[in-house]
Amino acid sequence: MPNILADAQNLLTDLIARYASRVDYLMIRLEEAEDTDIVLRGNKVETLSEGISIGGHIRACYKGGWGLSSFNQLATISERIEEAIAAARLVGDEETILAPIDPVQAICQLPLTGTDPRQISLQQKKELCDRYTNLLKSFDPRITTTSVRYGDSTQRVIIASSEGTLIEQSWVDMEMRFAATARNGDTVQTGRETTGSRKAYEDLTNLDEQITSAAQRAVAALSLPPVKGNTYTVVIDPILTGLFVHEAFGHLSEADMAYENPDLLEVMTIGRRFGPEELQIWDGAAPEGHRGSYFYDDEGTPATTTQLIKDGVLVGRLHSRETAGKLDETPTGNARCLNYHFSPIVRMTNTWIERGKTPVADLFTDIKEGVYARNWLGGMTNGEMFTFSAGEAWMIRNGKIAEPVRDVTLSGNVFQTLADIEAIGDDFYWDESGGCGKGGQNGLPVGCGGPSLRIQEVVVGGET
């Protein structure tokens, strides 16, 4: 494949020149990926694999209709181009509207700050997973089930378009996931941790404290009382803030969600107030070193930093070239695909709430009875509604953190919740554990960040 990629620029340029006149827009993507996947459940090895995948896809647009064809044999690329063009011409019956971008010719690589995981043997990676499994299992005899997953992926991508763009971009992504389940009679509790990096293999080798924390939370929760379900003033930590801004608000900012849904587009009207003046929300791949960072998206649009909410008011949304064209807005560099099997769609990159000015200790002041929630255990969203499970939680009584509780779920409407933010902490944390799912493309690396938040009138599930 290195020899193929070395010759690919001339090949793609020739193919684009040969076929571009038959459609309004044509893009060819070539991709080489190297992957490692290890899954241990207890002492059982469920997955232990290394692989190299080579392939590509063609996207053609004609009169607003799109055709996609993917391949993993370069010898068939001409036939696949014909298929994509035929499909686009079959369904196109309107107008191709793509917001303009400047053609780019570039070769770029996201830099590593430490060891490339490709330099580490499969045996060494397996031994790392074994060590973490033993750490989970040995924490307490009530730990009955453990799960450790390691994954790394190196992607090298070339995209060429009929507009003159020719970009080669490469990166390395790594992730580990851990879970420990504790049991005491009929009571079962689970602690989870996830981490990721696009910087160095070393970022995954010193996680003992984080992993022990997952086991500790599972065991401790066995003897905790469940929270009493009610509506409380809640303080959430930066990890939950990052989850909230990504899941509950970020997806609603993806413009394909809006232009396909007139009701949502009306709700997400630019200029509408959603939160206090202190609230600032951003998304962008331009900030370096995060899991959602890159130089160009999968349409060749340069990475940007897009402000979504400024001083509590909606001022932007996330775009592909098509959504930007249809809504007469500016492309933001948010068209991403998981790999060559899929078309790029509008996706978040790194999404965060800017730190505020309130000292974290002051977030608890004057709360007679509330809940302090940290970390996440799971969650789901359905349009404007969300439900998240906290990894650990405590009651707040008379402005102080009091007794720990379990089974804390936070539910609400995202727009009402943004409006109910009472204070924004002066802390901040980047969570690099995200793997986002949308449109069947699951596990796309993203970053999330934020400060601690104080929010009033949050529905907290638990015993009634």
The one-letter code for the residue type at 438 is: K
Q: Note whether 80 and 60 are within 8 A (CB).
A: no
Choose the final residue of a domain: 164, 192, 221: 221
Give the C-alpha separation, 179 to 133, whole Å: 9
Report CA-CA distances (Å) from 172 to 95, 163, 303.
38, 28, 17
Give the pLDDT score at 260.
Answer: 82
Q: State how far the Cα of 335 lies from the Cα of 438, in Å rounded to an integer.
A: 12
**The pLDDT of residue 10 is above 90:** no
Residue 70 backbone dihedrals phi, psi, to 5 degrees: -115, 160
Residue 166 is part of a domain; what is its CATH number?
3.30.2290.10
Among the listed residues 48, 70, 38, 29, the one whose alpha carbon sits nearest the alpha carbon of residue 155: 29
- Kindly report, residue by residue over 124-135, the tens digit of the pLDDT: 999 999 999 999
Q: Do both 276 and 198 map to the same domain?
A: no
Q: How far, in Å, are 58, 67, 101, 326, 379 from residue 88 at the CA level?
A: 11, 4, 22, 18, 38
Domain that holds residue 61: 2-221
Are 121 and 173 in a shared domain?
yes
Q: How far apart are CA 221 and CA 216, in angstroms?
A: 8
Give me 57's structure tokens: 């896809």
Identify the CA nearest to 232 among candidates 402, 461, 460. 460
User: Quick check: helix, strand or coil at residue 238?
Assistant: helix
**208 has pLDDT over 90:** yes
- Predicted pLDDT of residue 352: 98
Residues 237 and 374 in one domain: yes
Mean pLDDT, the chain, rounded, equals: 95
Q: What is the pLDDT of residues 140-159, one digit of tens each?
A: 999 999 999 999 999 999 99
Residues 339, 446, single domain; the answer is yes
170 and 253 together in one domain? no
User: What pLDDT is attached to residue 461?
Assistant: 87
Strand boundaries in 92-142, DSSP class E: 105-109
DSSP code per residue over 380-439:
EEETTEEEEEEEEEEEEETTEEEEEEB--EEEEEHHHHHHTEEEEBS--EEEEEEEEEET
Half-sphere exposure of 50 toward its Cβ, with a 13 Å CA cutoff? 11
Do residues 139 and 253 both lie within one domain? Answer: no
206 and 342 in a common domain = no
The reply to whether 216 and 239 lie within a common domain is no
Per-residue pLDDT at 160: 97
pTM of the predicted protein model? 0.95
- Domain stops at, among 221, 240, 258: 221
Q: How many domains, the chain?
A: 2
2-37 in b/e form (b: 16+ CB < 10 A) is eeebeebbebbeebbeebbebbbbbbbbbbbbbbbb
Alpha-carbon distance 331 to 392, whole Å? 39
- Is there a single domain that holds both residue 204 and residue 273? no
Q: How far apart are CA 295 and CA 375, in angstroms?
A: 30
- Give the whole-angstrom CA distance, residue 264 versus residue 259: 8
In degrees, to the nearest 5, what angle opens at C-alpha 154 toward C-alphas 257 and 249?
Answer: 25
- Give the model's pLDDT for residue 464: 43
Give dist(CA 116, CA 154) in Å, integer. 9
Q: Are residues 366 and 442 in the same domain?
A: yes
Residue carrying structure tokens 């390691």: 150
241 and 298 in a single domain? The answer is yes
CB atoms within 10 A of CB 131: 14
What CA–CA distances, in Å, run from 133 to 40, 45, 128, 185, 204? 8, 11, 9, 23, 14
Q: What is the pLDDT of residues 156-200, one digit of tens each?
A: 999 999 999 999 999 999 999 999 999 999 999 999 999 999 999
The burial class, CB within 10 Å (0-12 / 13-18 / 19+), for 232 is: buried
pLDDT band at 361 (very low <50, low <70, confident <90, very high): very high
The Cα 200–Cα 202 span in angstroms is 5
DSSP string across 169-233: EEEEEEEEEEEEEEEETTEEEEEEEEEEESS-GGGGS--HHHHHHHHHHHHHHTTSPBPBPEEEE
In the numeric block, the tokens 């002051």 are attached to: 362
3-class SS at 322? helix
pLDDT score of 380: 85
In which residue are the tokens 């509008």 written?
Answer: 346
Integer CA distances (angstroms), 376 to 23, 89, 408, 432, in order: 47, 47, 10, 13
Q: 460 burial class (0-12, 13-18, 19+ CB within 10 angstroms)?
A: buried
Q: Are 321 and 297 in contact (CB under 8 A)?
A: no
Q: Which of 132, 160, 172 is nearest to 30 (CA)?
A: 160
The pLDDT tens digits for 270-310 are 999 999 999 999 999 999 999 999 999 999 999 999 999 99
Pick the last residue of a domain from 162, 192, 221: 221
Q: What is the Cα Rg of the chain in Å?
A: 24
Kindly state whether residues 243 and 377 are assigned to the same domain: yes
Say how far residue 410 (Cα) sits from the centre of its chain: 20
